[in-house]
Amino acid sequence: MKSKGRKIRTLKTVLVLTIDIILKSLGDVNLSHGMKHVGKVDFFNPGTFLADGFQVFTNVWILLGITLLIGYSLLELAGLSWLDLSYMLPMTAFTYVLTAFLAQWLLHEHISLTRWAGISVISLGVIIVGLGERKQQKIPKAESSRLTYRAPR
């Protein structure tokens, strides 16, 4: 039987990962939707740089997408404070699955069988990683301030 603290940590992890995945997927879908409304943008053309930039950064869908992605990034930082990167990154890769479903459903994009096969492989990888250990090795505060990598003993 899991201890109360461990159950809370597991619930917190599942909640943060779920919200993280939803925010990332919705943010990406909103960015795509907004860019389809803006049209082709060429930021490397000095003549249209300002006009294109104004169109992009005043589009409500793009601003919503950026806001959602900022929320995703903040949750990602929070999660990384207690989860290993090698656990969190594959688990948040489930955004590829959700984003594909949302792109097909909301943006009416056609997703080929080859893409669905790739998404299935990603899903299998997420399941395998999810079955693994989530515990992060504690590093003393004095050592954690250095940017050098120390292999576990």
Q: What is the pLDDT of residues 33-51, one digit of tens each?
A: 999 988 887 777 777 877 7
Mean pLDDT computed over 82-100: 88
C-alpha closest to that of 95 among 150, 18, 2, 14: 18
In a domain, 150, yes or no: no
Neighbours of 72 (CB within 10 A): 22
C-alpha closest to that of 13 among 66, 76, 55: 76
Q: Give how far the C-alpha of residue 143 lies from the chain's centroid of Cα atoms, to the nearest Å.
A: 29
In a domain, 86, yes or no: yes
Q: At what angle do helices 4-38 and 95-106 cross, to 10 degrees?
A: 40
In a domain, 135, yes or no: yes
Look at residue 10 in the predicted model and tell me its pLDDT: 83
In a domain, 54, yes or no: yes
Q: At what angle do helices 60-80 and 4-38 cross, to 10 degrees?
A: 160
User: Which positions ≥6 away from 118 have C-beta within 8 Å?
Assistant: none
Give the containing element (helix H, strand E) for 9. helix 4-38
Is the predicted pLDDT of residue 108 greater than 90, yes or no?
yes
pTM for the model stands at: 0.77
Mean pLDDT computed over 45-62: 83
Range of the domain at 76: 4-144
In a domain, 130, yes or no: yes
Look at residue 27 in the predicted model and tell me its pLDDT: 97
Number of domains observed in the structure of the chain: 1
In a domain, 69, yes or no: yes
In a domain, 117, yes or no: yes
In a domain, 152, yes or no: no
